[in-house]
Amino acid sequence: MAFEGLTEKLQGALRKLSGRGKLTEQDVKEAMREVRMALLEADVNFLVAKDFVKKVTERCVGTELEKSLTPAQLVVKIVNEELTALMGGANARLTWSPAPPTVYMLCGLQGAGKTTMAGKLARYLQKMGKKPLLVACDIYRPAAIKQLQIVGESVSTPVFEKGMQNPVRTAKEAIEHARYYGLDPVILDTAGRLHVDEALMRELSEVKQAVRPQEILLVVDAMTGQDAVTVADSFNKQLTVDGVILTKLDGDTRGGAALSVRAVTGKPIKFSGISEKMDGIEPFHPDRMASRILGMGDMLSLIEKAQEAFDEEAAQKLSRKARDASFTLEDYLDQMQQLKKMGSMESVLKMLPGVGNKLKNVEIDDNALKKPEAIIRSMTPQERRHPEILNASRRRRIAAGSGTTVQDVNQMIRQFESAKQMMKQMMGGRFGRRGMRMPGF
């Protein structure tokens, strides 16, 4: 996962400061030396890393200690704030044209993931109630138009294409098409190259001049590290981009691009690709990303994922069932289905404060829910609603029907009873009153 190495090294450097009643200037400088090395190893731009460490050091040495924080916690707080500022401070939202359709022009090098990201962006905007149109402006890469059509079909979004026609003309006709059919926004999937060249920039500039897009969004492969920042800088100087989309941020990337691109180009990161699925896109929140990097979790993103996955009416029904202790195995099965919509178990767990850094050598089985699901589906409706009738013979039948063992059935029922009891306690208000501290410090 992205930032894994950086997170471990930053935590190691900052943890050395814990337990000290007072921090000297030398203590801070030694810790910051390790922080600087961690940033460089994460492929953060040299000048960006140098400036970051300078700012943190100056603040740590010159800041009065707050009564509610230990010296080590104060350093963590400052590092967190400076990381947030480094990545842009706040989430940069898409802007919209006052006269629809709004045009978003996606550009970037070949292989960065523009076409797939165009589909993900369309899917994201559909959830906002929009009716996007995808436009095939890449006439050079073999099967690029066909790929966009497949992507469009997967997200139920129409694709406008005119074969090998000049991309500038295609873009202009697409906007008229969108205006006529009431489609908004228009997402242009432009051509890329293996490297930045004059021909590419000339064509992109012509498209820009012809359709005057509301925003030019540069799609950058986060796994290319410093090269991604160099590419972003080149595109920005020649096209004046409005924002950056980082793809493959869920992969084995050191994260340097995310920490450097804003500082080098001055342009905000607007979205990040977080999985290969078509809904694997999320707005980039610098404050949340800083918390993840420091191993402090990302509860806000986790809550948003839960809100998307869980039906509000079903949640209220579940709440009532928890209060009056009528929670059944049918409800338990439904909750498993909702949980699967939130993504992989690993991605969910890593958003919990203090958990992400403990999962490095732990294998998370995404099929863990399949066995209890099979067991419950092998029960009769009466058994699901009244698990107390599950005697030994019924359990043997259920085990045989689900391809599991009686021990598996017994374990699933114990887990269900524990979940039922926990929900009852939570509804009784026994949880949520304790304060939280930053993990590991």
What are 386-401's pLDDT values in tens digits?
Answer: 988 999 999 999 999 9
Lowest mean per-residue pLDDT among 61-75, 270-284, 352-366:
352-366
Helix (H/G/I), strand (E/B), else coil: 240: coil
- DSSP secondary structure, 39-84, as one string: HHHTT--HHHHHHHHHHHHHHHHHSPPPTTS-HHHHHHHHHHHHHH
| 132 against 27, higher pLDDT | 132
* Domains of the chain with CATH codes: 4-86 (1.20.120.140), 103-294 (3.40.50.300), 302-427 (1.10.260.30)
| Residue-wise burial string across 20-47, b where 16 or more C-beta atoms lie within 10 A, e elsewhere | eeebeeebbeebbebbbebbeebbbbee
Average pLDDT over all residues of the chain:
81
Model confidence at 365: pLDDT above 60: no
Q: Which residues pair with 333 in a beta bridge?
A: none
Model confidence at 67: pLDDT above 80: no
Residue whose structure tokens are 């009153």:
433
Model confidence at 431: pLDDT above 50: no
43: left (phi over 0), alpha (psi -120 to 50) or beta: left
What confidence tier does 429 reach under pLDDT thresholds 50, 70, 90?
A: very low
CB 261 within 8 A of CB 229: yes
| 370 against 305, higher pLDDT | 370
Q: Give me 268's structure tokens.
A: 């905000």
* Nearest-angstrom CA–CA distance, 340 and 338: 5
169: left (phi over 0), alpha (psi -120 to 50) or beta: alpha
Q: What's the pLDDT at 433?
A: 39
* Nearest-angstrom CA–CA distance, 130 and 302: 24
Model confidence at 417: pLDDT above 90: no
Which residues does 285 contact at the CB level (< 8 Å), separation at least 6?
A: 90, 91, 300, 301
Q: What's the pLDDT at 164?
A: 92
User: Quick one: which of 434, 432, 429 has its CA closest to 323?
Assistant: 429
- Which sign, positive or negative, has the C-alpha torsion 205, 211, 215, 219? negative
What confidence tier does 214 reach under pLDDT thresholds 50, 70, 90?
A: very high
* Nearest-angstrom CA–CA distance, 73 and 4: 21
Q: What's the pLDDT at 197?
A: 82
* Nearest-angstrom CA–CA distance, 288 and 293: 9
Q: What's the pLDDT at 292?
A: 76
CB 213 within 8 A of CB 104: yes
| 35 against 363, higher pLDDT | 35
Report field, pTM of the whole predicted structure over 0.85: no
User: Quick one: which of 1, 3, 2 has its CA closest to 294?
Assistant: 3
Q: Which residues pair with 106 in a beta bridge?
A: 189, 217
Taking residues 101-113, what's their average pLDDT?
92
Q: What's the gap between Cα 424 and its chain centre?
A: 32
Model confidence at 432: pLDDT above 50: no
Q: Which residues pair with 269 in a beta bridge?
A: 244
Taking residues 140-168, what's their average pLDDT?
93
Overall size of the chain counted in residues: 441
Q: What's the pLDDT at 20?
A: 61
- pLDDT digit string (tens) for 259-283? 888 888 889 999 988 878 888 888 9
Element housing 135 (H / E) = strand 133-137
CA atoms within 13 A on the CB side of 124: 20
- pLDDT digit string (tens) for 368-392? 678 888 999 999 999 998 988 999 9
Q: What's the pLDDT at 296?
A: 63
Residue 317: other Cβ atoms inside 10 A? 13
Residue 269: other Cβ atoms inside 10 A? 28
Helices 370-377 and 406-427 cross at an angle (nearest 10°) of: 100
* Nearest-angstrom CA–CA distance, 359 and 350: 8
Instruction: Tell me which amino acid residue 230 is.
Output: T
* Nearest-angstrom CA–CA distance, 59 and 74: 10
User: Quick one: which of 105, 132, 108 has its CA closest to 208?
Assistant: 105
Exposed/middle/buried for 256, CB within 10 Å: 0-12, 13-18, 19+? buried
What confidence tier does 24 reach under pLDDT thresholds 50, 70, 90?
A: confident
